[in-house]
Structure 1
Amino acid sequence: MQHRSLTVVLTAASLLLAAGCSAGGAQPGKDGPSPGAKGSARPGPSSSAPPATGSVQVTGTLATGLDSPWGVALLPGGDLLVGSRDTGRIYRIAADDGRKTALGSVPGVSPGGEGGLLGLAVSATFGADHQVYAYFTTESDNRIARMIYDAKRPAGDQLGAPDTVLRGIPKGHIHNGGRIAFGPDKMLYAGTGETGDKGLAQDKESPAGKILRMTPDGEPVHGNPEADSVVYDYGHRNVQGLAWDGHDRLWASEFGQDTWDELNLIASGRNYGWPEREGKADGGAGGSGFTDPVAQWKTSDASPSGIAYAKGSVWMAGLRGERLWRIPLDGTKPVAAPRAFLKGTYGRLRTVVAAEDGSLWLVTGNTDGRGEPHKGDDRILHLKVT
């Protein structure tokens, strides 16, 4: 197939969208579904808000000895795919006993700094096509490719040749973004970083510092701000967490610089402020066409990576903060202040994934060059949460 090279051109219509005229997207503060949510098979939310305090119980360790784990994808049936940022390898971890099987390596991965093999996702129609998607850094860019996973082949040779669906996402030593996920609309979403070049976040002709929304083939989708662009919103510093709640609203975690990390409610065409603004303006008064975060943290307390939605709350893994944050929600509003769990217990926390039963898989990130690995690192923990 002809691979799509990313070009982004947004017109004055984007300015109207940034001011609040969404092209079919849910608006922050409202309970409507995200674009494409009609016909979604996702279960509805509970009728009552979650408890204000909640709890976390570590019920076991699924796997140990992982090397720079980053991307995690949940397979039908509950097993996990885990990628190694620095080696480019992908493994399958059995959910029942932690058995690890090597699938193979993603060709072309060029690790360095915060780049390498980053996000993983499985196709929304995995049962039929067996496609695994990967976001990774090459010598020239960040890109998204898909590979056919054939579990019947010998271990280490279970991935087909990569088919690049999107290329040309700027790369940097830092801020490569990297999280990918299929939404309830069966479209592919990707969080990108601004590579350390702050101006790219506000540059609508660049895919850096954005959330991208595309078809499984990497093409623009109806409901995006511009019909010929995969750019969904803009004004981000470094997006590394994506999750949908029970009403199919999209949430994203945001690395701040020196002042505030953020949890954002995402809507089509919105401008989330970076680098003009970090965190809430004037105590949350808004203005200037920017969208305020729903919650914010000092960077020393969070530095968030992956997020998940379970039991009425958004759960956010903290790297520098070395803790798991719980943000209980009633619709789009927190019902209580965010609460931290596991502070300093397992070191840096990279990724959190919701299992089908509402429990969580939590992946540590101590072998990424910035942590202090202990015996057994990195590991996958199983959490029971309320």
Structure 2
Amino acid sequence: GRWLVTEKGGYGGPIEAAIHLFDASGEQQPEPFATLQVDSTFERGLLGITVDPQFEDNHYVYVYYSQPGEPVVNTTLRYTERDGKGTEPTVIFEAPVLTGAGNHNGGNLHFGPDDKLYISIGENARPAFAQDTQSAYGKLLRLNRDGSVPDDNPFAPAPGWAYGLRNPFDFTFDPQSGNLWATDNGPSCDDELHLIRREQNYGWGPDYQCGSVAEGAIAPVLRWSDTEAVTGVLVYTGDAIPAWQNSLLICAYGTRALYRAPLTADRTGVTEVRQVELPEGFGCGTDIEQAPDGTLYLNDPPNIHRIK
């Protein structure tokens, strides 16, 4: 029932960022789980965190962050948890930033039902990277837990699993079907929700036109014509809020809105999407997570809200 919270680290170049540990009651551990130096320029920073599904045996925690330097490197780091602290930091994957752009880094990381580590990473403001299957950028990546590329990846030895994404901020696996759902930030249009499949192209590239679907690309399941900046996404399966069961819950950084989209019977689409009416002062800016008891936590910087 413990939970981890990452702080991006600001918006001003190299800085120390922290990972905080809370117990099940919400009490924060006095000392950070870990701190690390990040490049926090614009959208860079400490961006994602996940716990190994075999945590009880290996005590592994993984983070995705922008490592300072020349060049900046978007890095996946593994900690070993000991007595509430992250120890033995080990780099398992690196994607050097190939442009001077500080945006479109993604991103988050989660384990899939196949026991592989998936990472979402933006195209670093270069649309052509999203269509280059040998580039790590503009992709959903799939790795072994040690950071190596699985032999059965579609573009091996490249790490990509799916491509044609602009800035996939977050993604989630449906616990019942195993389907992978991802949010993707559009330009001045077309924030999108995608059902991600192996080897598929989701359309973002140099010639993208608002409202269109590129030839050979997969259409989004949901598309917002206005700029919402969709971020955190979750398939809710808890009992605390029965009316929301089997729905996708989607945060929007631009409006702090929370959207609910009930899944179809086959769990490959949605029946509708509507904005959730939240309590006054609540928003869903960057992330949404479900606790083991079905309680929801909404990350609305600088606050974390609980709904049950």
- Structure 2 length as normaliser, TM-score? 0.86
Code of the residue aligned with 1:334 in structure 2: it is V
Contact 1:323–1:344 (8 Å) recurs in 2 = no
- 3-state SS of paired residue (1:341): coil
Match of 1:369? none
Code of the residue aligned with 1:320 in structure 2: it is G
Question: Which runs of no fewer than 5 residues in structure 1 stay unpaired?
Answer: 1-77, 153-157, 366-377
Q: For residues 204-249 of structure 1, give each alpha carbon's deviation from its aligned partner in whole angstroms, at most 9, with x where no partner exists.
A: 2211110000110011124421332211011111011111112000
* Bigger relative CO (Cα 8 Å, ≥ 6 apart): 1
- 3-state SS of paired residue (2:19): strand
Match of 1:210? 139
TM superposition shift of 1:280: 5.4
Say if 1:287 and 1:142 are closer, same or farther in 2 by CA, change over 3 A: closer
Indicate the structure (1 or 2) with the bigger Cα radius of gyration.
Answer: 1
Give aligned pairs, total: 285
Say if 1:318 and 1:188 are closer, same or farther in 2 by CA, change over 3 A: same
**Does residue 360 in structure 1 map to residue 296 in structure 2?**
yes
- Structure 1 length as normaliser, TM-score? 0.69
**Does residue 324 in structure 1 map to residue 253 in structure 2?**
no
Please identify which structure carries the higher strand content: 2
1:274-285 maps to which residues of 2 (within 5 A)? 274-275=204-205, 276-277=207-208, 281=212
Match of 1:83? 6
- 3-state SS of paired residue (2:128): helix
Say if 1:168 and 1:99 are closer, same or farther in 2 by CA, change over 3 A: closer
- 3-state SS of paired residue (2:31): strand
Code of the residue aligned with 1:261 in structure 2: it is D
TM superposition shift of 1:344: 8.0
TM superposition shift of 1:83: 0.9
Q: Relative to structure 2, which stretch is displaced further, 247-256 or 331-340?
A: 331-340
TM superposition shift of 1:100: 3.6
**Does residue 307 in structure 1 map to residue 197 in structure 2?**
no
**Does residue 383 in structure 1 map to residue 307 in structure 2?**
yes
1:120-139 maps to which residues of 2 (within 5 A)? 120-139=49-68
Question: Which runs of no fewer than 5 residues in structure 2 stay unpaired?
Answer: 10-15, 237-244
Contact 1:107–1:162 (8 Å) recurs in 2 = no
- 3-state SS of paired residue (1:88): strand
Match of 2:12? none
- Provide the rounded CA distance (Å) in 2 between the counterparts of 1:138 and 1:268: 29
Moved over 4 A (4+): none
- Provide the rounded CA distance (Å) in 1 between the counterparts of 2:160 and 2:224: 27
Q: For residues 95-119 of structure 1, give each alpha carbon's deviation from its aligned partner in whole angstroms, at most 9, with x where no partner exists.
A: 2143344334443422111111110
- 3-state SS of paired residue (2:48): strand
Match of 2:277? 341
1:15-94 maps to which residues of 2 (within 5 A)? 78-86=1-9, 87-94=16-23
Contact 2:258–2:284 (8 Å) recurs in 1 = no
**Does residue 252 in structure 1 map to residue 182 in structure 2?**
yes
TM superposition shift of 1:166: 0.4
Contact 1:106–1:162 (8 Å) recurs in 2 = no
Contact 1:242–1:252 (8 Å) recurs in 2 = yes
- Provide the rounded CA distance (Å) in 2 between the counterparts of 1:115 and 1:294: 28
1:148-159 maps to which residues of 2 (within 5 A)? 148-151=80-83, 158-159=85-86
> Percent of aligned pairs with the same residue?
29
- Provide the rounded CA distance (Å) in 2 between the counterparts of 1:238 and 1:287: 17
CA RMSD of aligned residues (A): 2.0
Say if 1:309 and 1:356 are closer, same or farther in 2 by CA, change over 3 A: same
- Provide the rounded CA distance (Å) in 1 between the counterparts of 2:118 and 2:96: 13
